[in-house]
A = this chain, B = another copy of it.
Amino acid sequence: MFSSEIFSRLERGAQVVLRKDAAAIIGFTGLQAGDRVVDAGAGSGFLSISLGSVVAPTGKVFSYEWKDDFFEIARKNVSRAGLEKVVEVKYEDVLEGIAEKDIDLVTLDLANSDKALAHAFAALKPKGYCVGILPNVEQAKRFTLEAEKLGFASCLTTEIIERRWLVREEGCRPETTGVLHTAFLTFARKPGQA
């Protein structure tokens, strides 16, 4: 098992993808060992590390980041997580293209993720997924409309809301305050025979 404590030892240089969303991306796409993933932008590398822990030891995550500081943080974090052989942090802008082919999953967490969809489509295997992590409704809409135009076979937008509970001898109830929203997740799937 990949220890969740690892994440508490990592540096946070950007808004990180929460584990509820990482879990949905992993679980809904059926990610498994040996899969090949492109993750962009890497940010602090949290999502790349989560995905890397699942595709290890035989799979690969190509993690794109063009901002100097995030690139350094992501690299350091991947190394602390012991995943240097699985997650390759690339100092590149995904909007300029994806070099890899036969990719199972592309995750996009950019202000304009829809602009990277054509590159994702080209890089993906048949039946592969491109998942947008999209804070605003407008981004989910642009992402979906662009994916449909490019020929993605299906598009599902969903929100994962986590509600933690206080479970105590003296009484059970949801926590009083907490996270209400992180991002909409749009799952676009490439057509074809897997």
Contact = CB atoms under 8 A, between A and B. Distances in A.
Contacts of A169: 145
Nearest to A23: B27
Given A158-B165, A162-B160, A184-B165, A1 B31 contact: yes
A101 interface: no
Interface of A: 1-4, 19-20, 22-24, 26-33, 35, 50, 53-54, 56-58, 104-105, 127-129, 135-141, 144-145, 155-165, 167, 169-182, 184, 186, 194
Contacts of A158: 162-165
Contact of A135 (B20, B140, B171): B171
Pick from A26, A163, A165 the residue with the most CB of B within 10 Å: A165
A178 B176 contact: no
Nearest to A21: B27
Q: Give 4 nearest A-B pairs by CB, closest first.
A: A23-B27, A136-B171, A33-B33, A2-B30
Contacts of A127: 1, 3
B181 A175 contact: yes
Contact of A54 (B54, B155, B165): B54
Contacts of A160: 20, 160-162
Contacts of A53: 30, 32
A7 B129 CA distance: 17
A165 B157 contact: yes
A56 B30 CA distance: 12
Nearest to A142: B167
Contact of A29 (B1, B22, B56, B182): B1
Given A31-B54, A175-B180, 4 more contacts: A30-B53, A135-B171, A157-B167, A159-B164
A59 to B, nearest CB: 9
